[in-house]
Structure 1
Amino acid sequence: MRDIIKLKLYTRRKTSLQRRNLAIATWEGVPSVIFHTLLGGQFLTGYLLYLGATSGQLGFVLAITTFVNIAQIAVAFLIQRLTSRKWALVLFISLHRILWAFTGLVPFLFPQQYWVSAFIAFYVAAFLFNTVGAMLWNSLISDIVPARVRGRYFGIRNTFLNALGTLTMFIGGMLLDRFPESQGFLYLYIIVWVCALANIITFMFYPDVTFERSVESKFLPMLRKPLQDSSFIKATLFLASFLFLQNLVVPLYSYVMLELLKINYQTISLLSVSQTLTMMGSFYIWGNLNARYSNRRLLFWTLPIIAASILSWGLLSAFPQLPVLFSAHMLFGIGVGGFNQLAFNFMIGDTPKSERPMYMAMYSAITGVAAFFGPLLGGKVYEWIADWAKWAQVFGMQLVVGSAMIVLALVLGRRILRDV
């Protein structure tokens, strides 16, 4: 009887500790999502245009965040030697948050002709540190969240945080429309600095859970593990190809709307809000479907939805502007919400636990290179077609890219992402 009582008490304590850790991981996301929302998307595009960036420079900035993921391969090897993932995470996340927030000081620290260059320098440095932080967070969170609740937990977490991001996006858009650019961006960056500091503090409450290290102690044998997993590497290469096509156009939506369609910040924020709301609703649905179907099968189902959202820009040739853009953003929210959630579950759920850091690093590196060249090339294409007809600039690329994505998904996707 005494042993039974002890077992029940131990089980309750363990359950209570797990709930506490999950709550910390959720609340940590509050300042993080506000920080990232106000520094990304249309706010990033608008700030760079305010600093004087061209579409080519904008494409580079949007691309570099994924290219630096190559460094995660080295990070996956080096973290095997860490005694504490938590405090290494706090260090690198702090450097990322502070350096990215420093981009708001560029107009005060440098002459105007160096604004874009200075922004890029701070931005690249920030995301080099973020590469390490992201790897550590992925490794730590995969051990914090029990496998049996992973799909539904991330569905609920993503829904909650995206609701907050939606509100933040809308308020940020109103601020930029209400106040002149310099004053509006100053207000945004004040909020950003508060959230950066709050986010760093909340990371300190993360648990430092036990780390199951790789069975390999040398770099090359550890690197070969994911490379020799043919099912994993084929799926990763396919998803990288799809992301390359997607990133030719999607990261530059804000540029098209701000510069070519002359849509104001508040309207763009409403478009982003509609995308986020549908994404939030889809998280719960994709999470429940994930309890019945595999990550790979559901990933395949997201691909035609994403491609259709890009193709729907072509409807601008025959229908009013705003209804088409709202429809395109909402459809994209459904597709990309599922894709991001399922790709993350694919990385942390369909891979061996002891080798998971290197698997995640390989996935991030391969998809990161593909996603890097997408907006980089897309930005250059917009420079090349600057003298073309307006329809070609506004939705011509979307029609070409969306068609290619449909073909890729139907020809290769079904075969590569089948259940194994």
Structure 2
Amino acid sequence: MGYFMSKLILDFNWLLGHLRRIYFMALPENEEDYEKSRGYYIAGDSATQTIAQLAGGTFLVSLMLSVNIPDATIGVITSMASFAALFQLFTMQKINRLKKRKLFVSLCVLQKLFLALIFFIPLMSLENHAAQFLIIAGYFFAQACTQIGTPATQDWIATLVPMELRGRYFSRKDAIAVFVTVTTMLIAGVIMDKTAGPLQHIGFLINGSLILILVILNFWAFSCMKEPRHARLNAFGQEMHGHLARKNKEDAPARQKGVLKTEILEAFRNPDFRKAFWTNILWLTAFYTSSPFNTSYQIKDLSLPFTFIMVVGFFGNLIRIAITPMVGRMGDRYGMACIYKYSLVGILLNFAFMALSVPSNAYPMTIAATIFSAIGWSFAGIGLFGIQLELINEEKRTLQLSILSSIGGVYGFLVSFLAGRLLSHLQHTPLILAGRPLYAQQITNTLGVLFLTALILYTKFVVQKRETQLHP
């Protein structure tokens, strides 16, 4: 017994040492390590984006409709990911004090397993109200953990990619991620169509299993990345770990009251941070006023089949994949804000075509809307993130990204909640224009067009002007 206990303790200590090397001692030693880490991030982010699509959009809406959750409520629930960003405010200081964040980010990734589990709930013999609660609770918990880990993840990849490579790298990453995502979604969409009706629970089982596999891939890819952050150093500039780090640990400063408030106020005193903040707010206003309700509109009111939506999305995203690298290089050359405002025009036209969509013209309008969405999204996410990295304080990047994300998240949720109330009201109020019935989502998409117009003008006359001053 003593031999086996000793061997067990020895094996356990070996495992702890191995994990310490993976998560606390993975410094990049040369450019090759940086390049490999950027490659692993592309793999992990491709899994992340695919998970987000398989656990959202059409698939999540179908899951919620299967347990009789109303349309307006679905729009609000899909925005809970944004509201979950509020938790970043309460965790950002503790995360910022972490010398190494790789383990923290990797553990946050594992919580996405709950996104897989919610698709197994229809297999259980549960009342609708119980199934509704478990789906909403599981979705919210997974999104909260994801949001808490997002600023640390963004700071991590920002340290691995120099500014002069960001446009090209992030566009290449997005092109690969989009290809992986739309290919997987096309297959999953066909499966959901084939299993519609009495076999729908089988489709949910397959979808949940795909998410489970992708979460494991995401965790593995991030675990393989190097982290260019130093732990506590000794007098020779070498990292200390284990008992050496504990022995030489400096006394932690007394916790100050109002530190969170001070950080927020300090950020808002900076005019560049305010520009990044208002750019984010205008974008969230436009996006959450219209986008969360379009999937249910396509399925219920326009009666479009899964396969059609997925095939059109697939070919639209082939266009996005083809042009994203070129647009990324243009972002490096002409500036993030300059190209960002043009990408917003594509999303504006997407909302405009959705506002004009009715059952009689649903097929051509959906094709046009999808193409312009793909063109717009070829740089919209890259451009917004690039603008934030340019305008916020690099030394406090994690904190200020958390502030932007958390405040923006709560704001986005409130916008989607109010838009959901408006949608519910409009759906119960007969709307007639020129003798023809008007759908509620036509109104919300029209509002999205107006808000995007305001954002495009703000980007051109405020943000782009400041970017030119920073990088003449």
What one-letter code is carried by the residue in structure 1 that aligns with 2:388?
Answer: M
- Matched residue SS, 2:228: coil
Q: For structure 2, which runs of at least 5 residues remain unmatched after alignment?
A: 1-27, 233-255, 432-436, 467-472
Moved more, 359-368 or 326-335: 359-368
Q: 1:190 aligns with which of 180, 190, 209?
A: 209
**Which residue number in structure 2 is paired with residue 100 of structure 1?**
115
- Aligned length in residues: 405
Q: For structure 1, which runs of at least 5 residues remain unmatched after alignment?
A: 1-11
Cα shift at 1:346: 1.9
What is the alpha-carbon distance in structure 1 between the residues aligned to residue 97 and residue 457 of structure 2?
43
What is the alpha-carbon distance in structure 2 between the residues aligned to residue 129 and residue 404 of structure 1?
30
What is the alpha-carbon distance in structure 2 between the residues aligned to residue 60 and residue 167 of structure 1?
28
Cα shift at 1:151: 1.2
Whether 1:62 aligns to 2:78 is yes
Q: 1:269 aligns with which of 310, 319, 326?
A: 310
**Which residue number in structure 2 is paired with residue 288 of structure 1?**
329
Whether 1:395 aligns to 2:414 is no
Moved more, 186-195 or 229-238: 229-238
Q: 1:245 aligns with which of 274, 283, 286?
A: 286
**Which residue number in structure 1 is paired with residue 263 of structure 2?**
222
What one-letter code is carried by the residue in structure 1 that aligns with 2:105?
Answer: L
Cα shift at 1:404: 4.3
Are the equivalent residues in 2 in contact too, given 1:235–1:416 (CA < 8 A)? no
TM-score normalised per structure 1: 0.88
Are the equivalent residues in 1 in contact too, given 2:115–2:138 (CA < 8 A)? yes
Q: 1:86 aligns with which of 93, 98, 102?
A: 102
Are the equivalent residues in 1 in contact too, given 2:168–2:329 (CA < 8 A)? yes
Whether 1:254 aligns to 2:300 is no
What is the alpha-carbon distance in structure 2 between the residues aligned to residue 81 and residue 210 of structure 1?
12
Whether 1:146 aligns to 2:192 is no
Are the equivalent residues in 1 in contact too, given 2:72–2:421 (CA < 8 A)? yes
What is the alpha-carbon distance in structure 2 between the residues aligned to residue 345 and residue 68 of structure 1?
23
Whether 1:157 aligns to 2:173 is yes
**Which residue number in structure 2 is paired with residue 415 of structure 1?**
461
What is the alpha-carbon distance in structure 1 between the residues aligned to residue 46 and residue 350 of structure 2?
29
1:222-245 alpha-carbon deviations (Å, 9 max, x no partner): 333321111321342243123212
State which structure, 1 or 2, has the greater radius of gyration over its C-alpha atoms. Answer: 2
Are the equivalent residues in 2 in contact too, given 1:245–1:374 (CA < 8 A)? no
**Greater relative contact order structure (CA < 8 Å, 6+ sep):** 1
**Which residue number in structure 2 is paired with residue 26 of structure 1?**
42
**Which residue number in structure 1 is paired with residue 7 of structure 2?**
none
What is the alpha-carbon distance in structure 1 between the residues aligned to residue 168 and residue 465 of structure 2?
21
- Matched residue SS, 1:281: helix
Are the equivalent residues in 2 in contact too, given 1:256–1:394 (CA < 8 A)? yes
What is the alpha-carbon distance in structure 2 between the residues aligned to residue 250 and residue 211 of structure 1?
41
Cα shift at 1:139: 1.4
Cα shift at 1:163: 0.5
**Which residue number in structure 2 is paired with residue 308 of structure 1?**
349
**Which residue number in structure 2 is paired with residue 169 of structure 1?**
185
1:208-258 alpha-carbon deviations (Å, 9 max, x no partner): 321699xxx954443333211113213422431232122111121110011
Are the equivalent residues in 1 in contact too, given 2:279–2:459 (CA < 8 A)? yes
Are the equivalent residues in 1 in contact too, given 2:344–2:456 (CA < 8 A)? no
- Relative to its length, the structure with more helix (as a share) is 1
Structure 1 runs, 4 residues or longer, greater than 4 Å off: none
Cα shift at 1:290: 1.2
TM-score normalised per structure 2: 0.79
What is the alpha-carbon distance in structure 2 between the residues aligned to residue 145 and residue 237 of structure 1?
26
User: Cα RMSD between the aligned structures?
Assistant: 2.6
